[in-house]
Structure 1
Amino acid sequence: MEDNRVKSLVKWVQVLMIMAVVLMIVMPNRVQAEETVPVLADAAIVVDSETGQILYGQNDKAVLGIASMSKMMSEYLLFEAIEEGVVSWDDEYEVTDYSHRISQDLRLSNVPLRRDGSYTMKELYEAMAIYSANAATIGIAETIAGTEKEFVQMMNDKAKEMGIEDAHFVNSTGLNNSFLLGMHPEGTGEDEENTMSARSVAILTKALLDDYPEILDTAKIPELMFRKGTPDQIRMVNWNTMLPGMDHEYDGMDGLKTGTTDFAGHSFAGTAKRDGIRLIAVVMKAVDAEGEGSYDARFNATRALLDYGFGFQETEIMKAGQQFMGQESLPVAKGEKDHVAVAVKEPVRLLVPSAQQEAYRTELELTAGAPLEAAVEEGQLVGKVRVLDSENNEVEYLKGEKPAADVAATETVERANWFAISMKSAADFIKGLF
């Protein structure tokens, strides 16, 4: 009887030990993830705007609705059209029946447009960038491309040019086509909506900030009066309430674009700058602890991402001229010397968590053939630096790009004359025999 009890006790001890081991394996990962970035959203990402380094990603390749974040592409095409002289800020838009009817829909974010009115590109742009005005966006699209259908084609083409493969634009605004009163662009479905992944939204945001940083001069305006001093004036309050002085104020926030539809939920592509570092944070379909989407939820999720990202510090992983231990030189064929010295051409910098400054390491990734064949010129590129994190994963960048971290020859190795090459080949042959 006692033997049975002992066996039973031993069995229970074994079970408890196994459970303890399982908890030790599972729980730290869950706790670490929650403590790292507690983002309640279908997808999220935060990146370094300068380099495109991904600091955190959560389901960031899933294709989801993007709602009015679509207007960032409309903004990009507007700035590009102005840069190329296709339109100017002072060009007047003659209101069409389409844009007029959409502007009168009180369900949507809009500024009212008179059917017999005309509005400058500057007015429509400010309404789009600050107030997410949908009819104003349609007016811009029609001015640039003639029709919204042609403009949508431009949006999809530009996405591919940016390296975005998962974008699907069906209109210029980000609304569900069902809100366009049967006037949605030809060739698109009556219930379709623009879609993209969080990673791709970050690529679009970075492209807009890189190429047209002046977008922030308008995006950071908390409120503006449309058509001030006229019977049509309307107060436009920025939907990005993380701007200074607004309800969800965040230090350094100066853009960029919110988006909300039933399909896309509460989404946001935000950017903030502190101490010389600019981050881009994207949240898609954010919810609160009860699983309900709200404006608070999307800004709380964005705050968590940005807080996490600003906890990183810029660190110089390798200095210019630094060599790889054990790979200070590379073999050279048919050269006056058997090896050529190599080193990092430019400093390798990236953002790393403050508590993990020493956890990152580098490797040499050869891009030239091995061995190199003389002549090898000083400054000739031979490889790239791979940066690995504390878990031995390569640091990720948007579009798979790596930082400008070239490895180059630091000396010239001339090609040997034919006699020296022949003698070397003979010596290698004899050496191989023995």
Structure 2
Amino acid sequence: MSERRFFNEEVETLPKDKLKALQLERLQAIVRRAYTQNRFYRSLYDEAGVQPSDIQSLEDIRKLPFLEKKTVREAYPYGTALCLPGGSEGALQVHATSGTTGKSVPVFATKKDIDNWSELNARELWMTGVRPGDVFMNCYGYGLPTGGFGFHYGALAMGVMSIPMGSDARQYDRMLDFILDFGVAAMCMTPSVGLYLGTKARERGVNFKETSLKIGLFGAEPWPWETRLKLEELLNITAYDEFGMTEFLGPGMTCECEVRDGMHAWADTFLVECIDPETGEPLPEGEEGELVWTWLNGDGTAMIRYRSRDLSRTWWEERCACGRTHPKIGAIKGRSDDAVSIRGLIVFPSQIEAALIRFPEAGANFRIIVDRKNDLDTFDLKVEIQDAAILANAEYIRTLQSQMAKSVKSVTGNTPHVELVPPDSLPRASGGESKTASARVEDRRKN
């Protein structure tokens, strides 16, 4: 194993003041380029009464209007492109969000973007302990969402053999076969896929202590600390949180280091703000709110002050114990547009997961169903179990349902009606597009 602590030591350990100076330089450049090369941005900024020359400090970013997903969708297909049509260097690759609630948000990547994307992901893999000579299994989806491609490019950049397994739910046995047969040392996937893989391994009698597997990177959906502990127990790994958005060629935006106290956000490429989701006003460092992202050196696409709807917090230490100087974001708690209000209380899917993970009988998936009857909210919770055989024991099921309902109430303040269902019977999100909790929430009040 290489003794190098960093993939790119110079950039990863750049002093905070120099990183901020670089951020300002790149912010001014991307705003100027967007205004002069892109009709969508020029119209947006003219309407807001702001000019590129108004950006004289990092705080001046607040003069720029937020970029909403709805606005970007209205500019589809080429509204945010900097390289199309007719640019000096065209896009080599196009990705897009899932578009489940409207038009997709496209992102255009040039050769420069792909090279930078590769390095960012290599930094993250190196940061979690992956080294040249290791075998890396990538279980994110390969397609329009960027999940699979980012870490694939990162592995190539650092000389690691990558297995592009993908996120097909029918491949769990093959995933286990490859871990055993190819000596997989590290892998990436959604937490729900990891939990399911772990339960399948137990059914097959796989002992991960006898394998080369040691590292897992998990993202694309919020997951509580309890899920991390469960993944580490099932898979005998160290689990790391990572976060990325297709709109910014994520993954490669943020990842935990060995300290695992927040995810480093690469300040040479991204500027992250934290705002009050209701007022849009900036929040003090460390206070929880909505993350807003700016892509500082995007070459094919401009994403400036894009509201993510992800709820977290930000802070910036002078230097982390790992030696890196880039700012951090906390674990994603949920999304402001995925939170569901039940009987006047806000409920996040991640809270439900934290309550259910305590039960060994619980499977890897659940579904929240909210409705309204007689002007009152109803709260039903379907929970997959690991062993369908227990469904035959009515008394045991009643007791388990009652215990689960009490556990959920303890973290949400709401008591659900719990129904236990067979394994693999509920919708499951498994790709980069699953960053939202849509597969786990069904709000029938909206219909």
Q: Say yes or no: TM over 0.5.
A: no
With structure 1 as the length reference, what TM-score do the two structures score?
A: 0.22
TM-score by length of 2: 0.21
